[in-house]
């Protein structure tokens, strides 16, 4: 199984590009909020039960997908590249797939902040991510994460760089690209 990890900051287009990539490849989309939303109904974001459950659900879904022999899974993730715990989570997901004979690849999306703020309020994003329907609150989260975390490469080297460098990798500035155009670049680069 191919595990394509699409990462980047909030509202960069990970889910939308992942959706377009799945349409072209037949892979399945496993976007970040598929596990976040149901757990938020029970526990506050970031609480210990929330963190444990989301992590366990993601791990188990990736295990089952790899064991079921799916051709590919596109997983989207807001990755704090400087955070050792995020690096270990990504290593563990790659380990699940690779221990079963699969392969992991990375796609990093980058877009200018003004464009991400515009995308933050799109109907598709709001429909897929219940917790993002309050665009003022999701805008505040986006701005806060921009200040606190490193979510794109290109600056000082982070602890994530060794993991990224050890796999096939593509960085796309999709500020002015449609999701279909970005998916086309991924298909071309990885030969899907």
CATH number of the domain bearing residue 70: 3.40.50.300
Residue 109 has which token pair? Answer: 């999306």
- Stretches where the chain sits below pLDDT 50 are none
Query: In this structure, is residue 165 part of a structural domain?
Result: yes
Query: In this structure, is residue 184 part of a structural domain?
Result: no
User: pTM of the predicted model, to two decimals?
Assistant: 0.93
Burial group, residue 176, by CB count within 10 angstroms (0-12, 13-18, 19+): exposed
Query: In this structure, is residue 54 part of a structural domain?
Result: yes
Residue 121 lies in domain: 2-175
- What is the structure's pLDDT at 3? 98
Query: In this structure, is residue 186 part of a structural domain?
Result: no
Q: Are 73 and 34 in contact (CB under 8 A)?
A: no
- What is the structure's pLDDT at 123? 73
Residue 88 has which token pair? Answer: 């270990």
d(CA 182, CA 16): 10
- What is the structure's pLDDT at 131? 60
Q: How many structural domains are present in the chain?
A: 1
Query: In this structure, is residue 132 part of a structural domain?
Result: yes
């Amino acid at each position: 199984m191919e595990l394509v990890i699409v990462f980047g900051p909030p509202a960069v287009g990970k889910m939308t590009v992942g959706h377009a990539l799945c349409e072209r490849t037949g892979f399945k989309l496993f976007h970040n909020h598929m596990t976040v939303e149901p757990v938020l109904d029970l526990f506050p974001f970031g609480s210990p039960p929330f963190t444990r459950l989301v992590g366990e659900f993601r791990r188990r879904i990736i295990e089952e997908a790899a064991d079921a022999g799916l051709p590919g899974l596109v997983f989207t993730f807001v990755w704090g590249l400087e955070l050792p715990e995020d690096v270990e989570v990504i290593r563990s997901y790659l380990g699940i797939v690779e221990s079963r004979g699969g392969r992991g690849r990375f796609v990093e999306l980058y877009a200018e902040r003004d464009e991400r703020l515009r995308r933050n309020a799109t109907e598709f994003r709001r429909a897929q991510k219940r917790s993002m329907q309050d665009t003022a609150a999701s805008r505040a989260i986006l701005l806060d994460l921009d200040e606190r975390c490193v979510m794109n490469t290109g600056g000082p080297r982070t602890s994530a760089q060794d993991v990224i460098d050890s796999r096939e990798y593509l960085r796309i500035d999709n500020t002015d690209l449609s999701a279909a155009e970005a998916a086309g670049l991924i298909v071309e680069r990885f030969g899907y």
